[in-house]
Amino acid sequence: MAEHSIHIRHVLLYEFESGQPAAEAHLNLSQVFGTEALSERSVRALFQCFKAGNKKVEDEPRSGRPTAISFDELKNLAEQHPYEGVRYFAASLGCSLRAP
């Protein structure tokens, strides 16, 4: 998924550098990628970033909790602390109690 979105951003950077308006770039993108294309609103937001001088197409690193935890890490923690509850495990692993 990440690689695909980088390719789409490269296409949009090309469209931006070619002088295409965001709406037309979205139309071109939709014709090629169909349902996998970004929304027109997302294309406009990306064009605003390009216009402001940020022409990076890779994702910026994000802070916060990891989106997934290691099953082995959870298993080891449960074996070491068999009487602890899910709140303890969530706090120890740095994740929330909610399912994704």
Q: pLDDT by residue for the chain (100 residues), tens digit each?
A: 467 788 888 999 999 999 999 999 999 999 998 888 889 999 999 999 999 998 888 877 766 655 677 788 888 888 998 888 888 888 887 777 676 5
**CATH top-level class for 2-51?**
mainly alpha
Kindly tell me the burial class for residue 57, based on how many C-beta atoms sit within 10 Å of its own C-beta (0-12, 13-18, 19 or more).
Answer: middle
Helix H or strand E encompassing 96: none
Rounded to an integer, what is the distance from CA 38 to the centroid of its chain?
A: 13
Residue with tokens 């692993």: 93
Domain chopping of the chain, boundaries: 2-51, 64-100
**Angle at which helices 22-33 and 2-17 cross, to 10°:** 140
pTM across the whole model: 0.59
